[in-house]
Amino acid sequence: MGIKFSGLELFNEKLGAIKNDGPETIDKFIAQEAEVVIGRVKENTPTDTGRLKNGWHRTDASGGQCQIYNNVDYATHVEYGHRTRNRGFVKGRKMLHRGMLQSGKAFEADCAAIFKNLLGG
């Protein structure tokens, strides 16, 4: 007496496809999500000349990671706050922080959709 399982070949094929296509798909997904975050961050960035707003960029996605950065010399001062001679302490605008928080729920939903797609369901 025994139990016979069938359908494991299909499951094994799907796992093989994930192993082969997964890293590339994840990197593409991470790059797209970084662009969404950059859009939110730009919406949160105060504009005087536009230099700070146009300074947001990302690295290429690799290994499921990428970095969002701004090389404008005063970006950290606007993000975290700074002291001035006339007005005392100017509070930070938290552009990047708020952009990440605003994108969080959509990121989770997009992750679920990607994994569902990878599993073929």
Q: Domains of the chain: which residue ranges? A: 22-119
pLDDT digits (tens, 9 = 90+) for 36-72: 999 999 999 999 999 999 999 999 999 989 999 999 9
What pLDDT does residue 25 have? 82
What pLDDT does residue 70 have? 97
Does 121 score more than 90 pLDDT?
no
pTM, whole model, 2 decimals? 0.80
Does 1 score more than 70 pLDDT?
no
What pLDDT does residue 116 have? 81
Burial string for 82-114 (b: 16+ CB within 10 Å, else e) reads eeeeeeeeeeebebbeebeebbeeebeeeeeeb
Pairing of strands 88-91, 81-84: antiparallel
What pLDDT does residue 13 have? 78
Mean predicted lDDT score pLDDT of the chain: 89
What pLDDT does residue 62 have? 95
- pLDDT class for 78, splitting at 50, 70, 90? very high
